[in-house]
Amino acid sequence: MLYTKEVMKHFQHPHNQGVIKDADSVGEAGNPVCGDVMKIYLKIVDKKTGSKTKKVIKDVKFETLGCAAAIAVSSALTDKIKGMEIEKVLKIQKDDIIKDLGGLPPAKIHCSMLGLEALDEALKEYKK
């Protein structure tokens, strides 16, 4: 299975890997077929822009047990959302992450969903 240089870069040297002990929210997702599991930690702050206050992801970390694609997706996703307004984060699609990584083998496309599912769970928990 061939991976792009970008996938290998994120797999070999993942960004934002770890835990946020005082996270505002944590989400977890797993794939029972392949066994991959991802947990994402969010630190969210209010950012004032003019007269509006928006929620922004100040920090994000992940823990992923899985294949090279799952780890690369986790790393790329966390890079993408760090510093982003939640409104914009909600618009991210799996194809955005796949594009950021320069593509994924068809058999590994499901890995891109794992990161977004964990992120979705974390955001749902935060809204509670």
Domains and CATH numbers, the chain: 5-127 (3.90.1010.10)
Residue that the structure tokens 């510093």 belong to = 83
Q: Residue 27: in which H helix or E strand, if any? A: strand 25-30
Across 46-72, b (16+ Cβ under 10 Å) vs e yields eeeeeeeeebbbebbbbbbebbbbbbb
* Tens-digit pLDDT profile for residues 41-75: 999 999 988 888 999 999 999 999 999 999 999 99
Q: Would you give per-residue pLDDT tens digits along the chain (128 residues)?
A: 689 999 999 999 999 999 999 999 999 999 887 889 999 999 999 998 888 899 999 999 999 999 999 999 999 999 999 999 999 999 999 999 999 999 999 888 887 888 999 999 999 999 98
Cβ contacts of 121 within 8 Å, gap of 6 or more: 27, 28, 29, 40
